[in-house]
Amino acid sequence: MTWLVIALLAAGVALQRLAGMFVGTALIARFPAFERLASLIPAAVVSAVIVQLTFTSKSSLVIDERLAGVAVAGFLVWRRAPMVVTIVAAAAVTAFIRAAFGL
């Protein structure tokens, strides 16, 4: 990764964020129906990120130890456990399964 690549990567990421903030927000202001749509975007996009981080390895779908950790997190979120407990439990369960089964 050269300095030029770091600069280009940074510029592309920053421009998208600014475009979302100014152009995306202007669209929402112009078309009121977009406001409810915008409020649902985090649920849809974050859910996709969860799927990607839990079930993928490179470009393949996989089921591995991460699923157990995230499933425990899902249970704890449902039971309204404190966030830090949820996160630590997810890591602990994943680590335990790896250690127990030598994965």
Partner 1 sequence: MADADLRVKPDWGVLTGIAFTFFALGVTVNVLVLERVGSEIKTVVAAIVVNSATSELAYLAVRDAGGSVLAALIAGWVVASRFGLLAAGLGGRLQVGRLHRALAGLQSFDPNVGVAVQQPTSHGVMRVFWMVTLAMHAGWWSGTFVGVFLGNIIGDADRLGLDAVFPALMLAVIGNLLRQRQGMTAALAGGGLCAVLVPIAPAGVPIIVSLVGAAIAMRVRVPEGTT
Within 23-42, the residues that bind partner 1 by CB under 8 A are: 23-25, 27-29, 33-42
Strands (E), 1-103: 56-57, 60-61
Q: Which of 61, 100, 101, 102 binds partner 1 (CB under 8 A)?
A: 61
Q: Which of 30, 63, 99, 102 binds partner 1 (CB under 8 A)?
A: 99
- Answer for the pair 50, 90: CB distance below 8 angstroms, yes or no: no
**Whole-number Cα distances in Å, 95 to 65, 77, 100, 102:** 8, 20, 9, 10
Is position 50 an interface residue for partner 1 (rule: CB under 8 A)? yes
C-alpha–C-alpha distance, residues 24 and 17, integer Å = 10
Q: How far is the CB of 89 from partner 1 (least distance, A)?
A: 8
The CA-based angle 3-22-31, given to 5 degrees, is 145
Is position 44 an interface residue for partner 1 (rule: CB under 8 A)? yes
Q: Which of 30, 63, 84, 100 binds partner 1 (CB under 8 A)?
A: 84
Q: How far is the CB of 75 from partner 1 (least distance, A)?
A: 10
